[in-house]
Structure formats: C-alpha cells, structure tokens
Amino acid sequence: MTKQQELNILGKAIDELGENSYLGPALRHLLPEIENNLRCDIEPDIVSEIRRLENQVDELRGHKDSLEATVRQETEKLRELSRNIGFREEAREKIKKELQAMGHDLLSLSA
C-alpha cells in the first residue's frame, strides 16, 4: 500500500466519522501533520508513544514480578516467625504448668 493510499483511507475514515464524532474533528485537525510526517517518513507520534508505553508496561511487569516474589518470601518468613512464636508460647505454658505442679511460686521466679 502506498502512502497516498493510506492517506486516502484516513481521509475517508475522517469523513465517515463526521464532525459530530469524538475522533472526526481531532483527526481532521491532525491530518495536515500526519500527511507531512508520512511524506517525510517520520513515524507518527502515536506509534512511538505506543512503543514507549509498551516498554514501560514490560518494565512494570518485571517490577511487579519481582515485588510478588519478595512478598512471597517475606510472607514465608512471617509464617515461620509465627510458628516459632507459637512454639515458644506452648513451651512457656508447659514450663509454667510443670512448675506449678511442682509447687513453685511463679511470682518469685519472675523477680
């Protein structure tokens, strides 16, 4: 397809959209710049913007994956800590009961 054919298609699309559409007036306003850029082989801003945004999305996905991995690791650390605290509490209660069974005064042991 030639550049002129592309411009003809774009012109027809702008005409079909009409002045009461959202895109029609905006595209008609941009048409001279689009025509000039196309003739000069300058990539339309929208294309470069889409590429930039796609790269940014890829970066953010990588960052998200990294953060998710960190969250999983930290969650596992918290679970392990919670298990350890539970074991300590169980051990403390067991020792307390054994000392009480042996008749020791717990208040005198805490001083």
Write the pLDDT tens digit of every residue in 5-15: 999 999 999 99
Global confidence as pTM:
0.41
- 51 and 103 inside one domain: yes
CA geometry: angle at 106 spanning 101 and 108, to 5°? Answer: 130
- 50 and 34 inside one domain: no
Average pLDDT over residues 53-67: 94
Q: Which domain holds residue 15?
A: 1-42
Sequence-distant (≥ 6) Cβ neighbours of residue 34 within 8 angstroms: 7, 10, 44
- 75 and 100 inside one domain: yes
**Cα gap 86→75, rounded to integer Å:** 16
- 83 and 97 inside one domain: yes
| Residues 68-90 as b or e (16 or more Cβ within 10 Å = b) | eeeeeeeeeeeeeeeeeeeeeee
- 61 and 103 inside one domain: yes
Write the pLDDT tens digit of every residue in 65-98: 999 999 999 999 998 988 888 788 888 888 888 8
CB 18 within 8 A of CB 12: no
- 77 and 96 inside one domain: yes
